[in-house]
Amino acid sequence: MNARYQVAAPSQVRSDVVVFFLPETEQLWREQQASIQEQFPTAEAALSSNECTGKKGTFVATYVADRSRSKKVAVVGVGDHSTLTAESFRRAAATAARRAGNGAPSIAFVLPEWSPLGAEPTATAIVEGAVLGSYAFTRYKTSDQPKQLDDVTIVGTSRSRAMSAAIEQAATICEGVYIARDLANMPGNDLYPETLAEHARRAAKAAGFRIQVFDKRKIEALKMGGLLAVNQGSVRPPVFIVMEWKGGGANQRPIVLVGKGVTFDTGGISIKPADRMGEMKMDMHGAATVIGTLYAVAKLRLPINVVGLVPATENMPSGSAYRPGDIITFMNGKTAEIDNTDAEGRLILADALTYAERFKPQAVVDIATLTGACVIALGHVTSGLMGNDRALLDRIKAAADATSEYVCELPLHEDYLEQIKSDVADVKNTGGRPAGAITAALFLKHFIGNYPWAHLDIAGTGMAPKDGPYWTKGATGVGVRLFVEMLRRW
């Protein structure tokens, strides 16, 4: 995706579509209407229609018959000027890109000088909305598809290197989101642990970060009993992916991101219902997010050290699969009783959280499609956030607010530990239906080292049941923008 800044009169921009933002506030509405009609006189009739109100989500487009270099001009409403946020422009740009840009490879947005956010934050939000809203997963379609948007221009009135840099950075972050979406949308017959590792290697080569992939023999040597147990039922061997971006000083302790990489989850012996099991190809969305984040961080050359860890396996039923009642020993020597083989994500994360201690991290954040309980509690809009360090949790909340990748903090009161008590092992891998997202996080807490830790449950936000403002049904890529924002502010 190309994204750039251009100083020009809107009518002189060469693009398939030129889009103006229209506020609902009367005085600004009149001024913007006059400006549009001055630039595109032949569009006056269409843009003076009753539909062109500036109300949030409204959209009007028309072909232009004058000497403009563009084929169409469009207006998208953003609502009341006094309530505008970055998310307002993000969603409006996505609406415009989808409706005006269908089959059009290029689109230009006229930067609204009246935006209360300032020029660069507004441009960043517009690029994010247009690019993310134009995403389509067409990898396996054999018929001809409409042309996809591949060129976004922000049109302004004054030259600015900072503006150009902000636009390019926004596009790079969106590339990371695209990587996460593509990986999480791929089917289990094409994306399994070994091929996930290959995709991670390609991302590393393209962006310039270091990568190691541990095979089953190495995983056995490390005594990662959680990852090995979940893998027992699969003919596909597990992998453990270690990615490193060293943008900070040699002595700077890294931030470690851990992503759950269950490339297909049947539930194992505790098998899931057949209905919607196909969606479990996305049970590695946490891994996809971490890979996409490392790509974006490295491409942006952020001055910080970041490590990404991905334990990857399938969870399959077979004669060799692990069973309810089994007791497994993890890398840190602790034991867990298996109450339900469909609570597998926490088992592979446990070993990764233990391994993370080797990096003497400033902080560790894991991200996972971990529990259906989190979907029940927070739906598909908000991710669950838990952890042991107030400063880290506040950093994540600030990044979530800035990116509109919403989070809600859930408590980790010790009283909940009673639910995952085992009579025969150190801990049990499930705690029943009540507070399932919380007890899953408390299970993970048994395996963290001496570092600040946070856990993001994206079971609801990673998998969209229908199209959203700037995402499509399926994988959302949630977490990439949040993580990059968190790391930029570190």
Catalytic residues: 272, 346
Which residues sit opposite 7 in a β-bridge?
156
Q: Which two tokens stand for residue 376?
A: 């029940």
How far apart are alpha carbons 54 and 139 in whole angstroms? 37
State CA 105 to chain mean position distance.
24
DSSP state of 430: -
Sheet strand arrangement including 327-329: 327-329, 335-337, 427-428
How far apart are alpha carbons 478 and 249 in whole angstroms? 29
Q: CA-based diameter of the chain, in Å? A: 80
The CA-atom distances, in angstroms, between 456 and each of 57, 77, 438 are 31, 34, 11
The CA-atom distances, in angstroms, between 41 and each of 44, 45, 51, 155, 287 are 6, 9, 18, 19, 51
Pairing of strands 59-63, 72-79: antiparallel
Helices (H) and strands (E) in the chain, counts: 14, 20
What is the residue whose two structure tokens read 């201690």? Answer: 357
Q: Which two tokens stand for residue 312?
A: 């990857």
* Cβ pair 147, 103 in contact under 8 A: yes
Of 292, 271, 275, the residue nearest 184 (C-alpha): 292
How far apart are alpha carbons 484 and 169 in whole angstroms? 11
Pairing of strands 474-475, 427-428: unpaired
DSSP state of 461: T
Of 345, 335, 340, 365, the residue nearest 353 (C-alpha): 365
How far apart are alpha carbons 441 and 411 in whole angstroms? 10
How far apart are alpha carbons 102 and 286 in whole angstroms? 30
Q: What DSSP string describes 26-68?
A: HHHHHHHHHHHHHH-GGGHHHHTSTT-S--TT-EEEEE--SS-
* Cβ pair 381, 408 in contact under 8 A: no
Query: 181 Cβ partners below 8 Å, 6+ apart?
Result: 135, 137, 288, 471, 474, 475, 476, 477
Burial tier of 160 (Cβ tally within 10 Å: 0-12, 13-18, 19+): middle
* Cβ pair 108, 70 in contact under 8 A: yes
How far apart are alpha carbons 175 and 136 in whole angstroms? 13
